[in-house]
Structure 1
Amino acid sequence: MVVLIQPKWPQTLADLQACLSAPLGSCTSCQGRSKTKPTCKNPISKNSRERISSVVLDILDSGSLSSAARHLERLASLVLCRRWHQKQAADKTAEWERRIREFLELKGDGEQEGGKGEAKAESEGRRSRTATVSVKATGSYVAKPSNTGRLSVADGVDLKPVMEKRLLSLVVKHETVKEEDDEYKPRLESIPFNPLPSKTAIYPSPVKKPTVHTFTPYYQRPLSTREINIAIIEKLLAPEEKAVGTGYIYGYKLPKAHTTALGTDTDRMIKIGYTKNCKRRMQEWQSKCHYIPDVVFAPPALHYIKLEKVVHLHLANERRWDMKCAGCRAENGKTTNHKEFFEVDAEKARAVVGMWAAWADLRPFDQEGRLTAYWAARLDALDLDDDGCWDKFVLAKGKTKKAGSKLVADGGVA
């Protein structure tokens, strides 16, 4: 004879790992899909690794797919790297929900044997989403549904352990079915009845990220023209901090919906930075701060790392902190202050960056990253109290003289 029981929800970490096909117990790298590899393998954050275990416990305690859905969404976000694959969280959640459904609907090893009793048990299993186990035929005992929606069994029925596959369809036999753990004797009352929802559950949209920014001056007091000019000279004379090459000095605005803490728009707040790959850098800011940057300029520039610092000094009195970025805090709960914002018209910022990028094209540095003698001499001639001295320094053309058959700028390279 046959006794029907409800499918058992995964009870252990091993159950869940096998069901989801994910290394939840030792997950240290991103599980996102890559173009060249099955998984990304980039390391996930320490914060994410620490939170995985508690979310796994929530899933195991859920007892049903409908209850576990929101925990699966959280888990998907934790096992994907913040840099590249957060956009795959919805796909990962859907994949896991499909795997759980398949896990609950699997047939047992006994379905290979024929017989009318099997066909009937299989049909009953589809309708009620229950599993069957073999029992001893010691009398006319039958299984009856209890008032709580679970099944109860009359005295005398000797249940065999439920295997790792939660939906089994076994032929009624008198011999004992070998299980993985002969000491495990589950009671029917301990198996929760949680039918799958008839249609996809609808979950509320995530809370929109805050868009208010608190900007404060970068320096405690405004710098004088002389202080700014001396700082620029020191930066130009300093050796290259990193290998020279061509990159980009970019500037972007915040989205129009973002405001300052005073309620004003952020149209004059320009973030200025450097990068080797502008598109990738904007994607990183989008992932980190949860907004889409509005790029207003990104000219290519030689010695771009040094010149970005020079631009920051040139606009020193317009420099601002973006305190406690709302987007970063919403992501990891930690406070992040961005220090490369400038309260300046986009046209002025573009002009300053363009001026220094054009100057770099004149090859003012030697192969070791030091200023050439010609440009070092021009620095000595600067009026440090003139706030327009850099326009004259950068844009004024040196005299030319003939050297053999070539025209050579004073101190320049033929």
Structure 2
Amino acid sequence: MTQSGVSSPSSDRLRVAILGCTGSIGTQALDVCRQHADKLQVVALSAHSGTERLVASAREFGVRRVAVTDPAHRHDPILQDLPDATSLSVGAQAAVDICLHDDVDCVLVAIVGAAGLAASAAVLATDKRLALANKESLVVGGELLMPMASPGQLLPVDSEHAAIFQCLLGENPREVHKIWLTCSGGPFFGRSRDQLAHVGVDDALAHPTWNMGAKITIDSATLMNKGLERIEAMHLFGVGMDDICVVIQRQSKIHSMVEYEDGSVIAHLGVSDMRIPIQYAFSYPERWASPALRMDFRELGRLDFGAPDTDAFRCLALAERAGRIGGTLPCVLNAANEIAVSAFLGGTCSFTDIDRIVERCMDDHDAQRVQSLEQLADVDRWARARASQVVSDLS
């Protein structure tokens, strides 16, 4: 064991497993591995349904194990093209199993949604590094996961949380006055509630700065993403909701800031490229050559700031309510939101119906103290069923 409490890799290269390798974060992580092949070795990959891209990556990187979490794709013909030395497993548990082998040093959990919780817990039960790109793990199960993490074992991959983590390095956490959690404001910044009622799916998917998957992009448009990140930051950094303030930073060049008791503010600035925080989760505590273009501050021009409109973007207020009450309520918030976003993407509810669906489910739930993963799974199932019923009632 190293002084950080996490075991050192037994080879010159960090051996990584990437769960969710075909999504936005997963593909950018593979690009980091491609650029730093002398430092990183990909040994395991999982995908939910994108078997063609999974096989292509398995062949390129010569991985030892792959998992397909959607059983409906177990017989996809493309899987026959996996290398002979690559083993295949299928099902939700398969993504967990492939990353627990001795030849894995670091696991990037880039699975979207609550499905990442079980994988995150399984990794933290070992001495492997967890590069966490699944915010729902901490939103839903932070009360269970954080006590499991050894010092230096859990590295946040969200750009904002990676920024906060770096702004805290070498500082006394007891001297933190406030965390400034930055937010681009999404594609609908400045619009009223009435205007939001008429936006379409294509409009909501047009994020001004970041390249993300559909679900996270919609969450950014509703500001639910920022609400979830606020809860995540509360768990990651051991602070209260009052200590985390959301600020609009339209250019997305300041990724977050930490203000200290003496009035000093340390900010993390850089280009809007997720490969940078992904790479740092692999390289920590070292810094490797940038995988992205560099920012020329002489050409930046301006940095704008503002306060979010929680009357128009009600998801941010709902997340604050869930974070303050805690217990199982954030689990309901997250699960109901996943169903509502899916309904919006499928055309069965409006943009402003998303927060109505989430609020109805939260109102119908009596929050309990978090006790186990099984309990959270039960609450998640209830919330999804209730949200589906609310969607049906609205349509």
Hey, which of these two has a bigger chunk of helix by percent?
2
TM bucket normalised to smaller = under 0.3
| TM-score, structure 1 as length reference | 0.21
| Bigger radius of gyration among the two | 1
